[in-house]
Amino acid sequence: MATDSEYDLERQIGEWRTYMQRRQAVGTDAEELEDHLRSTITDLTEGGLQPDEAFLVAVKRMGSVDDVSREFAREHSGRLWKQLVLAGTPEAQAATNRPDLWTMIGCAAGAAIAIKLPALFGVDFDNDGEFYARNISLFAFVPLAAYFAIRRKLSPLYLGIVALLFAAGAIGANVYQLSQNSQSVILTAIHLPLALWLAAGVAYTGGDWRSDRKRMDFIRFTGEWFVYFVLIALGGGVLTGFTVGTFEAIGLNAEDFVQLWLIPCGAVAAVVVAAWLVEAKQSVIENIAPVLTRVFTPLFTAVLLALLAGIGISSTGIDVQRDVLILFDLLLVVVLGLLLYSISARDPLSPPGLFDKLQLALVVSALAIDVLVLIAITGRIAEWGSTPNKVAALGENVVLLTNLAWSAWLLLGFIRRQLPFAALERWQTRYVVVYAAWAWAVVLVFPPLFNFK
């Protein structure tokens, strides 16, 4: 009968393995767990237990599948990213299984209504564009933060913190009496969205914003959200085109409706819808942002190397215009984005490869170009005087340059196998705080600093 019970045991272990492999967080590590299970069974049967008894004890000692896969999920959140929802307590599980469609619809509808509320007080897009420029990120991201707060069942403490951050944003946008054409208005319009996006990130992480893994998840989310939002915007463009065109064909003018209702309400609602799509469709579609990164990293590297060669060959030097600093800020943002989104999709344990070297080349060439630009520009800055725009552009350059310089160092260490890849990952997730601090500084500190110019 020994063969029978052995056969039985193999079947049981096989079933257990299939069950484990189905847990996305465990995935390829099932083999290691199986080895452990077999070792336990061997020891127990040598101690006198029957194989089937030994199997039961071994499975019990392994711990409940939920507990184990939850711990795996904490460590390997990248694997889970396609599915995201952690199987937590039964309660949380029920909550994540329940369709959160209604939460999304509620928040999106709230956003669409909120953006039209100022119209009741006589504020409209045509005459008060500046009001909307300052506040658009509040209209867009408050519903988003609310959506996350509901989905993550945010604790009162973090609910308060997120609310406070948004209140600070509202103050920064509206309390300072900035004149309509001042540089500070534009700076606020650019930096407040970043500050509030990161504030919504606190809600996204469910309050666990210190965790490097959660931050990386938020970075992944940001990339996917952006892709979905652009797709929705493209669809929206087609929709508006058809609306205007077809109504014109029957002699009705729909332009007012489109401009005053369809576009603004649709845009703020799309912010929430895109967020919902990212979470709901995770298991269906492969992450897009890392794919785009793979495509564009070689191309950008080639362009930057060509640019460096061009600077070397032409003796004219860099033509230092006033806006050139902003252009190179944007270049650094793109390079940082390429780096960040390939990090977000990388298996930290796989050895350094060609792509990592390519990335180092990209970062180093961007740094070299930026340093050349900075050298060329330093003399001119004093001469231009310190306007809010100049200081902001220069500050951004420094923030990005610091990140990329240290990233290049860590990447080099990784390629030479002296540092783990996790060091680079950790540097990026920790650095998010610097962006937040800088964005808030520009929104809240710059206007008084520059006498509301």
Partner 1 sequence: MHIPKDLVAASATPLVLGILSQQDSYGYAIIKQISELSGGQLEWTDGLLYPLLHRLERVGHIESFWQTPEGGRRRKYYRITDQGRTELAEHHRQWTAVVDALKGIWNMTPARLVEG
**Site residues (vs partner 1, CB under 8 A):** 29, 31-33, 35-36, 38-40, 61-63, 67-68, 71-72, 74-76, 348-349, 419-420, 422-423
- Residue 348 or 395 with smaller CB distance to partner 1: 348
CB of 212 to partner 1, least distance (A): 10
- Residue 38 or 453 with smaller CB distance to partner 1: 38
Residue whose entry in the numeric block shows the structure tokens 């504030």: 199
336-340: long-range pairs with CB below 8 Å, 24+: 336/400, 336/403, 336/404, 337/293, 338/293, 338/296, 338/297, 338/300, 338/362, 339/363, 339/404, 339/407, 339/428, 340/219, 340/223, 340/428
Q: Which of 146, 144, 152 is nearest to 92 (CA)?
A: 152
138: CB partners within 8 A, 6+ apart? 166, 169, 170, 173, 192, 196
CB of 92 to partner 1, least distance (A): 19
C-alpha to C-alpha distance for 119 and 110, rounded to whole angstroms: 15
Q: Strand, helix or coil at 310?
A: helix
- Residue 36 or 153 with smaller CB distance to partner 1: 36
CA dihedral 164, 166, 170, 172 (to 10 degrees): 80
Which amino acid, 115? I
CB of 22 to partner 1, least distance (A): 15
- Residue 16 or 166 with smaller CB distance to partner 1: 16
CB of 163 to partner 1, least distance (A): 32
CB of 68 to partner 1, least distance (A): 4
C-alpha to C-alpha distance for 91 and 85, rounded to whole angstroms: 13
State the CB neighbour count (10 A cutoff) for residue 117. Answer: 10
Which amino acid, 211? S
- Residue 34 or 124 with smaller CB distance to partner 1: 34
275: CB partners within 8 A, 6+ apart? 104, 144, 147, 148, 221, 225
CB of 421 to partner 1, least distance (A): 8
CB of 422 to partner 1, least distance (A): 5
